[in-house]
Amino acid sequence: MLCYTFFTKIGGILMKKRFRTLALVLSLALLMAIFASCGGPTSSSVALSAGASSTEAGNSTDATENNFNGVTIQYASCFNEAEQQAIWVKEMAEQWGKETGGSVNFNFAGRDVLTSVKSDILVGNAPDIIDNDASELVAALLSDQEVLLEPLNDVYTRSAYGEDTPIKDNMNGAYTLYTENGNDYIVPFIYITSGFFYDKTMFSELELDAPTTWDEFLTVCDSIEASGIPALAADGNISFYNCYYFQALCQRILGSGKFLEAALDETGELWDNPGFLQAAQMVSEISAASKNYFQDGYAGSAYPAAQSDWAMGGAGMIYCGTWIPLETASLTEDDFEFGFFPFPTVVGGIGELNDIEAQLMSFSVPRDAKNKEAAKDFIAFCSSKAAADRLVELSDNMAARTDAIYPDALIDVKPTVDNATAYHKNFDGAMSAAPEWWANVFYPADDALFFGELSPEAFIEQIKTESVKFYENKK
């Protein structure tokens, strides 16, 4: 489930004056449990393997070998037709058609596309390509009980149009998070991560450096507070923003996969791991229960109030995904420079600074697609550097190709991505793997912890008790 307004380029004109009226209407369309299906690989972290302009994306030296004259690909998309990502894929389809003689028929079904697509697949009417968040594709269409996706290993080993090297050699290695039994079922085109964003001009004026450890982070928070503004901004009505802190601390303390294991534990016993209590204590320390580093009334702040205030200099930092500069750019002063650092490490913890979160907007091909070869060829066409550069130009997202250009507002994220040695899924994969538990058990407890209304010990006890009840009721 990804709220794809994240990926949408913030409409049109970005006005640069602090007090101008902003038409920031982004439907955060309920990150309904990172889309609401579940499953996917239980391995939540993967080490980075070695493989891993507005010119037309075609110019293929192999065009004569890719003759799909008369073939029409049926494409089901999670985007709406007016979104920049949809505009990009339509451009790619037009260019691919000129190269191959094929065509693409689009169904821009929006965020609930997987609901209808799975039904279509099961009744023998599968589309040829689906795009969506990789976690959702795998959760909905790939499980031990049913494999409804076609392996795409042969796409990774072929070259993109007009290129000589295998696609996998230029692809962000995070795609291997979704490798199952040696098979790759998704090919990403957008890469997203999360971390702390700040104004580099403000940090320079306060003589602050980006922290790398939690203790350094607390020191930075104290310095920002001493300057007269809150250290952190948070819109408390967005629960999945609130839970970033606890889950990220779990990853840094326990490593990837432990949070997911606990989320799926029917006995609740895994929550007795002291690392979970430590993470809860660290969240409590920065909350209204203790140091209260957030703006006054953050529990009741309604999106996008807090992030807007942050962009206008009303807070020091905000923890969010790489869509936040796009959502707030029109509010910043001319001297505002977006800075970024990944979630800090914890002394004695397992998670490392270069193990970063990965969310992947991806293509997949249903197992029973009627035009598999044409679909794979189109995906390869969309995987060239020229295609990736065009995607960045249109949408201001980071491309999944490692050699693509970068959006200006995200240039400070590039070193973190370039230096990654491992990846983990957003929210450790738990939001997709256990969406009902996430919404009904975790969200209420985490919100209360994050707002300073529930002690760390009471938080753990509530998670344990409610998890047992939840899974008992599922039997």
In angstroms, rounded to a whole number, what is the distance separating the alpha carbons of residues 203 and 416?
19
Alpha-carbon distances, residue 266 vs 41, 269, 472, 473 (angstroms) = 19, 8, 8, 11
CATH class of 47-192+358-426: alpha beta
Per-residue pLDDT, 143: 84
At 88-144, the pLDDT tens digits run: 999 999 999 999 999 999 999 998 999 999 999 999 999 999 999 999 999 999 987
Per-residue pLDDT, 415: 98
In angstroms, rounded to a whole number, what is the distance separating the alpha carbons of residues 471 and 188?
34
Per-residue pLDDT, 23: 32
Q: CB of 356 within 8 A of CB of 321?
A: no
At 291-322, the pLDDT tens digits run: 999 999 999 999 999 999 999 999 999 999 99
In angstroms, rounded to a whole number, what is the distance separating the alpha carbons of residues 102 and 376?
12
In the predicted model, residues of the chain with pLDDT beneath 50 are 1-44, 48-55, 58-64
Q: CB of 143 within 8 A of CB of 367?
A: no
Instruction: At 274, list the tokens.
Output: 């002291």
pTM above 0.85, yes or no: yes
Per-residue pLDDT, 47: 57
Amino acid residing at 130 = I
CATH architecture of 193-355+429-474: 3-Layer(aba) Sandwich (3.40)
CATH 3.40.190.10 boundaries in the chain:
47-192+358-426, 193-355+429-474
Per-residue pLDDT, 56: 53
Per-residue pLDDT, 144: 78
